[in-house]
Structure 1
Amino acid sequence: MSAKADSSSSGIDIVKLVLAIIVLIGGIVGYYHFADKSLIYRVLGVLLSGLLSMGMVLTTQLGRQFLGFLVEARVEVRKVVWPNRQETVQSTLVVVALVFLVGLILWTLDAGLFWGISRLTGQGK
């Protein structure tokens, strides 16, 4: 019995998703169709169709799963131990110093190879 309910709800979900896509495409087509109208009305139409289609998608099983994912992601972000200002500044300075050091090493290597190759080819008199 529950398998039948799941299949009918997934069928309804597919219809909702298709309708949401149609509404969104309709908003975009309307934006270009009413090119002679004010820009603010056309943008509001696209935003309204986007919000309406998003609302339709969120009523599906896929939309509910997405909302659950967002809630879980927010919980995980709150669990993260973020560095304080001093740690952030120190880490940034270390990264800048290492980038400078690697750049200096690569420049030295490039200059040395250039000098060696120019000597080998006879261009460095």
Structure 2
Amino acid sequence: MESVDKFKMTAAVVLVALGVAGFYLVPADQGALRVLSVIAGLLLAATTIWFSQPGRNFVDYARDSVKEAQKVVWPSKKETWQMTGIVFLFVGVLALFMWAVDSGLTWLFYGVILGR
């Protein structure tokens, strides 16, 4: 990362900190102004990051992510319900299996080996 980008990232952190500090410096009865100071700090920080190389890389990554998400073939409502039913059935069968193993081991250890 270039020193200019490091400076921009540091400036963005400082801007967020100033926005939060503004929130606490403004009197409590000025709620809208307090929130506005935080929002202004965040917006100024985002603008600063936008013009840095890491910010541009993030924007490119986000655009590529949206393009990839548009390529996904989402299941229909019927397919979703079918898969949900299969998951519930599998969980039920697994729960019965785990109960049977637990009960069997309990009987083996406490009933047969320890004789309680």
Structure 1 length as normaliser, TM-score? Answer: 0.83
Instruction: Please state if 1:97 is matched with 2:89.
Output: yes
Q: Name the residue aligned to 1:29.
A: 21
Tell me what 1:118 maps to: 110
Kindly provide the CA deviation profile for residues 64-106 of structure 1, in whole angstroms up to 9, marking residues without a partner as x: 1110001111111111111111111100110011011101110
Partner of 1:3: none
Worse-superposed segment, 15-24 or 35-44: 35-44
Equivalent in the alignment of 2:72: 80
Shift of 1:40: 2.8
Moved over 6 A (4+): none
Aligned length in residues:
115
Q: Tell me how far 1:35 sits from its aligned partner.
A: 5.3
Q: Percent identity?
A: 30
- The equivalent of 2:40 in structure 1 is 48
Deviations 1:3-55 (A, max 9, x none): xxxx9xx3322221111110011112222333534333222211221111011
Code of the residue aligned with 1:90 in structure 2: it is: Q
- Take 1:21 and 1:29, find their aligned partners in 2: how far apart are those partners? 12
Aligned-partner residue type, residue 122 of structure 1: G
Which of these residues, 98, 108, 112, is aligned with residue 106 of structure 1? 98
Alignment partners' CA distance in 1, 2:41 and 2:79:
45
> What CA distance in whole angstroms lies between the structure 2 residues aligned with 1:23 and 1:79?
38
Cα distance in 1 between the residues matched to 2:71 and 2:33? 43
Specify every segment of 5 or more residues in structure 2 that has no aligned partner in the other structure, as ranges: none
Q: 3-state DSSP class of the match of 1:81?
A: coil
What is the TM-score normalised by the length of structure 2? 0.89
State the alpha-carbon separation in 2 of the partners of residues 101 and 63 from structure 1: 49
Letter in 1 for 2:80: T
